[in-house]
Every structure is written in structure tokens, then in C-alpha cells.
Amino acid sequence: MRVTIGDIREMKQRGEKIPMLTAYDYSTAKLVDEAGIPLILVGDSLGMVMLGYESTIPVSMDEMIHHTKAVVRGAKHALVIGDMPFMTYHISPEETMRNAARFIQEGGAQAVKLEGGEVVADTVRRLVACGIPVQGHIGLTPQSVNQLGGYKVVGKTPEVAAHLLNDAKALDEAGAFSIVLECVPIPLSRLITERVSVPTIGIGAGKYCDGQVQVISDILGLYTDFVPRHAKQYVKLSDAIVTAVKDYAAEVKSEDFPTQQQSYDMDESILAHIEASTQS
């Protein structure tokens, strides 16, 4: 049975922490799902960690749908959330609806995520009314990096902190089923978590959030361009990959690979017959 937004809400009510991870492809999604992660985000972070863009801004709807389909094929149990890319939910209600519907209908996701607070509350309300579950995302919202002036903590001043609390309440009232808090100071994320009815999922927002989300490439040590402060590397697969690739190349050169075990044999008499009956 696939996880539902009701299951996620109940986890908050029970005080059970919610682990969430990103995934961008079939094989990784399958492993993350098998490990029991209930929420998988096909984040637009894929633009940076999978496609090598400098930010998430160039990511297109077609790219997101392509990766969402792959993740959904791999994840049989987790609730899969498709991240709406830059400017795909601002231009008009019709376009927003069409793009969100693509994630659900074409991509096979069960929910969408979008960045912003009060300014997107009406959008959230409209999507939820059409049957599309929405996850909010406030604090550091990477699609607004040019407006924010960089990737940094948000909510340290009284004005911005009050604004964030207001944003969280607006998303809660609009019907978002959960809210990502990115790079928000610990006391503020704690207050927001207490004041909203839906689960908060933190990334760089401290331990009092109802859940935590991480970019899979960060926790596995796969993305080497930049390691954010809020990321914990549970393993450094980049080193393991480089070592394995070097070992492979060395064995190809030394002719230690392939061995008999990685090769296929045939009856020598058949080869003798072919050699005799064909010309070189």
C-alpha cells in the first residue's frame, strides 16, 4: 500500500518523525523505497546534482516529468512528490493547473511541491480543490536565489521571522499537507512547527521539525561541487566510485578483466566448422 497524505498527517499527530529524501532515477528510488522512506521528493535540485546546472532555475517541466516517471517506476510504497520548477506556477492559474496535473497524470506522482508562502496560498487552495495534494516550501527558497541574494539562513530578524510564521499559517490554511522549512533558525522552526497543524519538514532547520529532508546526493557523498552545511554525509560514494573506476581501467589495461567468469564459451567444434566453411 502506498503512503498517503493522511498517513503523513497522522505521523505528526503521533509524534513520529518523518524522514524524507530526494530521488531522481529508477534505481535510487527503488533503494530509498526499500529502505522504508515514506516521502520521496523529485526535487528540482536535480538540475544541479544530476544535470550540472548552476542553480535550479533552468530546470524545465519536461525534465521534471522525465525524472518523476523514473522515480515512480522505482518507488512502489513511498508517496512521490514532484517539485514544480521555476515560473511554472506563477504565470496564470490555467498554466499552473496544467503543469501540476502533468506531475500527477503523466509523471505518476501523488503530490506536488511549490515554493513560497502567502503569495502562493491561493494557488495551493486551487490545486487542493482540484484534488492535487501540495507540499509548501518556505525559508530559503532556491528558485528565488537572485531575490534573496544567495543561499543563506532566512528568518533571523523580527520582521522576516514574523513573515515566515505568517507564510506557514497561510499554507496550512490553504490546505498544504506539509511544509518544507529550509535554512530557518532552530527556535523559529520550532515555533512554526507548534503553530501549524500539518507536518513541517526541515532542511537546515533543526531537530524540532516534524520531519527532515535531505538531497540524496548529499547524504551519499555523490555531489562534490558543494556540500551545504545542513548536509550530513553518511557515506562518501564519490571516493568509492573513483576508486572502482580506476581499478576497472587498470584491469582492462592489464587484461585482468574480463575473466572467464564474465565471459561466454561455445563449443570449439562449432567454431572449427565456421572457420573451415568461411573465408577469412
Closest approach of ligand KIV to the CB of residue 187, in Å: 21
Name the minimum Å distance from CB 112 to ligand KIV. Answer: 12
Rank residues 90 and 92 by Cβ distance to ligand KIV and give the closer one.
Answer: 90
Please, how many CA atoms are within 13 Å of residue 41, restricted to the half-sphere of its CB? Answer: 30
Q: Does 43 bind ligand KIV (CB under 6 A)?
A: yes
Contact call for residue 134 and ligand KIV (CB under 6 A)? no
Give the amino acid at 4: T
- Residue 177 has a CB neighbour count (10 Å cut-off) of 22
Measure the CA–CA gap between 235 and 273, rounded to whole angstroms.
54
Distance CA 168, CA 146 (A): 22
Interaction of residue 28 with ligand KIV, rule CB under 6 A: no
- The C-alpha atoms of residue 42 and residue 216 are separated, in whole angstroms, by 10
User: In degrees, to the nearest 5, what angle opens at C-alpha 22 toward C-alphas 62 and 172?
Assistant: 90
CB of 104 to ligand KIV, least distance (A): 18
Residues 137 and 129: their CA atoms lie apart, in Å, by: 19
Which stretch in 42-50, 168-176, 184-192, 262-270 sits in contact with ligand KIV by CB under 6 A?
A: 42-50
Enumerate residues 157-196 that contact ligand KIV by CB under 6 A.
Answer: 180
Judged by CB under 6 A, how many residues of this single chain contact ligand KIV?
A: 11
The span from the CA of 169 to the CA of 183, in Å, is 18
Q: Which x/- pattern over 218-257 shows residues binding ligand KIV (rule: CB under 6 A)?
A: ----------------------------------------
Residue list 69-88, contact with ligand KIV (CB under 6 A): 83
Q: Which residues pair with 137 in a beta bridge?
A: 116, 180
Distance between CA atoms of 27 and 103, rounded to whole angstroms? 20
Member of 203, 209, 220, 222 binding ligand KIV (CB under 6 A): 203
**Residues marked as catalytic:** 182
Q: Which residues bind ligand KIV (CB under 6 A)?
A: 22, 41, 43-45, 83, 137, 180, 203, 213, 215
